[in-house]
A and B are shown apart, each in its own frame.
Chain A
């Protein structure tokens, strides 16, 4: 019986070596280790053996079984690895062919600038306000210290709809409306981005429709130095940490004192170049201390409250920041223009 078992082991292992695929290997497993296989048969015949022989042969039978099983497992691993390798080889593709494009949309450049400015001021505790684009003469002019016949009305020729309604020429009416809303007794920190309209013929630098962002801070004891501080922080965040600003006197009916604000030219670093007309400075916004007439008209006591306001043209900021050379690009919406600014 011992010989028979040893012969079976040798025979089975030889067949394992000969098996060249998983199916024939499985056949060998069934043939030798299956319930009807020869080893089971040997074990079944153990009853005829003497009590001394039984454990010896039993142990041997188990060893043979184990040896065959190990050989089967090893061979299976080998075959599986070979099969996998073959599959991988078949699955190889040309990785240099182009990928399947995923459509990429993106924001309009003006939206990017607006949101950037909004985020800067949100960070400084300002809220964002909106107002109507078809505005009353009162909110667009009178509440902003521009009474009828004021010479400064010339500065902004406007599109009238009726004698007292017009397309707003500035976003400042939103400031006047907000002051009303706040009832003359609360501090205000707001910016108002929005579309405005002026009677200009569209060309490379003029547009009958454009975008403004204005800001207003009203509180007790607001100083002009606060305006400088806030604008410096804003300019550095928007144009770069090494920028400087300077204030030049100007005139806006809404504010007094009024200033125009320049930032150092980033093209030449303030040394002077064509972009800054050799001054080293580029005008970015207008600002000033809120005029007492405006505070009073909106219900704030100028003895108690003071404030500052500022305003900028978004197209101008975008043109400066990204070197856009024609304001009409913003409204033509040529896909080749719009998609230039989506990579960032």
Chain B
């Protein structure tokens, strides 16, 4: 909402306060002032001039040589505007003048002839082109004939005005009008509100003889009033009115339309002017639209109605989309003689639906859909009728033809001083509350500390105790509320185990050299189909699709973090950052239904991606590229943080290198994957060797035992045995390790691989793996016999299960 301060002055006294101070006060007490702007801060020395003569420039077809009288002197000015003519009153910028945008006017020679100034268009005077009346956008502005020559243009065009832009929250629909803003300012400054003069003279005609009104649904349209104004002459509206409309951001059109817009801005009450003669049936019927019915609105769009809009009809066909926009078939035009003026109250929700359906927002719908003041409907109509008589020469017929079931009652809200203070933490007195209510111009009855407030109908947002509480608080001033701390029981906040683990795991990964990322959850459909961990795909899952995505890239919720991480690697590598390690602790969204109907499962995943050198020290010629075992080591570290033991098994996973990928399992359940990206995927993302891991961290954290059982610190010596085996080169070291562990029995505390060898002195197709087995019993010293027995059992088992031979 744009508020012209020159206009606001008509309704409330703001003479003794600067625009900046006023803006600050308005902002601090309820409505944010988003900007303070001067209409045209820089134009000086521009006055009204009379075009005494206007002839073609001797050396240029498109230029005119004009003699302009500005009262004291006559200036020769060359002007290129097509619409300049002898006898006009125009805006003349004289030598020394400054125009908005820093243009300085000087004497100049144009094609050999002297020019002492410039004739200005409205745009050149600083008015935004979109608000300039259409007939003068391509030329100079012509003042009314009775304008006095020599008058400074700034005054006439309201260029010295200051405009406040208000950022209105949806509850403050009352401030979508000059009067509403006046009430707000009056409450803040402790002033009165001056009301417009709404009385008018009527002619001998009776409105009821000229038109009838019928409303089918009094709930959707509780009031419909028709005024008839005859004998109007369409022309320009007065300059002051055009100025205010432009200041408010509305383009002037003609006197009738301008008056309805002007009154809408004053009262916040939308009005509509029909050309009475085009409503051939002389009747108005307000009803719900029929499905498929058509109307051409004033913006020249043909609209097919859905059926739940309210339409104004002539009894046969729609002539307006109620509360939103008029119809072309009843539009006021240059030869309109009689105006049928509508002042109506439409129910907010109906207008909101209608405007949303047709994606059509107007000044009218913006106000209706937030709720208007039932007590201003007729007043606004009366004021507009008065202005039509005054500025369009109209004669007002007697009476208003109306349908009226409108509730105009004021709501009552009870408050008491103690409750106000208890909720705010203040010590406001009864008298202060009374004074605040008076400033707000809210009626009330006071019984000691009990107040019954009669809320004016302009404040449709107030109906509850806390609504009143807010009114009192904001006028009392939030700065005056003290600082206290809650009195409730003091409690110590604490992270839950999972929140703690999440932090712990992130710290571990950072310590391991990985950088944390946060990526978008919304991704493309194609990305939901790639690099999904096998544990996620164990059951059929579908990605969640948006109904109306803004773009293909962000149309589905992700099933995997890996594609996003890989994308980030690719982005960074393209920027010459080649050694990268990333992790993300984030959610994926899994739906069991192809057409989702219930909330999907949201589950936390911990994923990582690495590429380039893991360690690099150029002068020592050390460069260790990331490999499978780096990624696996990190995964093992994650499990260690949770006190869990993962099992890795070679696996074929879509998008992964078939020979360098393992599923990760816990207690026989697959919980994730670690491996190299398939070379074709790497190539698609312009990446070199890239390793990733992706774990169901939600499940893993569930398995974490909060208080691990105490383990005795061993006091008795341990015994180690080394076992070197020759096995087939395709055998998995981890499988053999598990066999050793199991066959060794309870005394085996640890099995470690200390050497893997293949090559010289080794039979082709074979490799050797050497393990150290550590035996220990924390309660006693072991005997040679029992270690020997375990060792023998191990050898027997690895021979049998893995076709292993002892390396001699």
Residues of B contacting A128 with CB < 8 Å?
493, 495-496, 499
Q: Nearest CB to that of B486 among chain A residues?
A: A226
Q: Contacts A151-B352, A208-B550 hold; do A101 and B617 have CB atoms under 8 A apart? A: yes
Instruction: Report chain A residues within 8 Å CB of B473.
Output: 224, 249, 257
Residues in A neighbouring B18, C-beta threshold 8 A? none
Q: Choose among B27, B491, B597, B614 the residue that contacts A162 (Cβ–Cβ < 8 A).
A: B597
Report A86 CB to chain B, min CB distance, Å.
26
Asked whether, in the complex, the Cβ of B577 is within 8 Å of the Cβ of A335, the reply is yes
* Whole-angstrom CA separation of A118 from B493 in the bound complex: 10
Residue A159 is within 8 A (CB to CB) of chain B in the complex: yes
Query: Which residue from chain B places its CB closest to the CB of A190 in the assembled complex?
Result: B493
Instruction: Give the residues in chain B near A223, CB-CB below 8 Å.
Output: 422-425, 484
In the complex, the answer to whether B615 meets A226 with C-beta atoms within 8 Å is: no
**B464 and A292 form a contact (CB under 8 A):** yes
User: With a CB–CB cut-off of 8 A, which chain A residues contact B499?
Assistant: 128
Q: Given known contacts A223-B423, A225-B426, A257-B466, is B493 in contact with A122 (CB within 8 Å)?
A: yes
Given A225-B481, A256-B470, answer yes or no on A154-B170 (Cβ-Cβ < 8 Å). Answer: yes
Stretch from B289-297, B399-407, B510-518, B656-664 forming part of the interface with A: B510-518
Most buried by B among A125, A126, A155, A260: A125
B514 touches A105 (CB 8 A): yes
> Considering the chains assembled together, what is the distance between the CA atoms of A97 and B621 in angstroms?
13
Out of B353, B466, B518, B597, which one reaches A110, CB within 8 Å?
B518
How long is the Cα–Cα vector from A24 to B583 in the complex, in angstroms?
63
Cβ–Cβ contact A103 & B614, under 8 A: yes
Q: In whole angstroms, how far apart are the Cα atoms of A10 and B654 in the complex?
A: 89
Asked whether A124 lies within 8 Å of B466 as measured between CB atoms, the reply is: no
Within the complex, the shortest CB–CB distance from B416 to chain A, in Å, comes to: 13
Chain A positions 214-228 with a Cβ under 8 Å from a chain B Cβ: 217, 219-226, 228
> Does B699 make an interface contact (CB < 8 A)?
no
- The complex places the Cα of A135 from the Cα of B583 at a distance, in Å, of 26
Whether A230 sits at the interface, judged by CB under 8 Å, is: yes
Identify which of B169, B369, B598 gathers the most chain A CB atoms within 10 Å of its CB: B169
CB contacts (< 8 Å) of A334 on chain B: these are 571-572, 575, 577
Question: Counting CB contacts under 8 A, is A176 at the interface?
Answer: no
Question: B516–A108 contact, CB under 8 A?
Answer: yes
Determine which of B486, B494, B602 lies in contact with A219 in the assembled complex, contact meaning CB atoms within 8 Å. B486
Task: Name which residue of chain A comes closest to B618, CB basis.
Answer: A98
Interface string of B157-176 (1 = CB under 8 A from A): 00000000000011110000
> Hey, what's the 0/1 contact readout for B648-670 against A, CB within 8 Å counting as 1?
00000000000000000000000
Contacts of B265 in A (CB 8 A): none
Instruction: Evaluate contact between B513 and A225: CB separation under 8 angstroms.
Output: no
For chain A, the bracket of interface size reads 35 or more
- A152: CB under 8 A from chain B? yes
B11 interface residue (CB < 8 Å to A)? no
Please report the total number of B residues contacting A with Cβ < 8 Å: 97
- Does B522 lie at the interface of the complex (its beta carbon under 8 Å from any beta carbon of A)? yes
Which of the 9-residue segments A31-39, A62-70, A194-202 touches chain B? Answer: A194-202
Question: Digit string of A229-246 for contact with B (CB within 8 Å is 1, else 0)?
Answer: 110110000000000001
B491 / chain A contacts, CB cutoff of 8 Å: 125, 189
B423 pairs with A306, CB closer than 8 A: yes
Per-position 1/0 for A311-344, Cβ under 8 A of B:
0000000000000000000111111101100100
CB pair A105–B516 under 8 Å, yes or no, is yes
With contacts A258-B470, A334-B572 taken as known, whether A232 is within 8 angstroms of B483 at the C-beta atoms is yes
Contact, CB under 8 Å: A165 / B596: yes
Which of B27, B172, B348, B483 counts the most chain A CB atoms within 10 A? B483
Closest to A151 in B: B170
> B residues touching A (Cβ–Cβ < 8 Å)?
27-32, 169-172, 348-349, 352-353, 369-370, 422-426, 464-467, 469-470, 473-474, 478-479, 481-496, 499, 503, 506, 509-522, 544-550, 554, 557, 568, 571-572, 575, 577, 580-583, 587, 589, 596-600, 602, 614-617, 619-620, 622
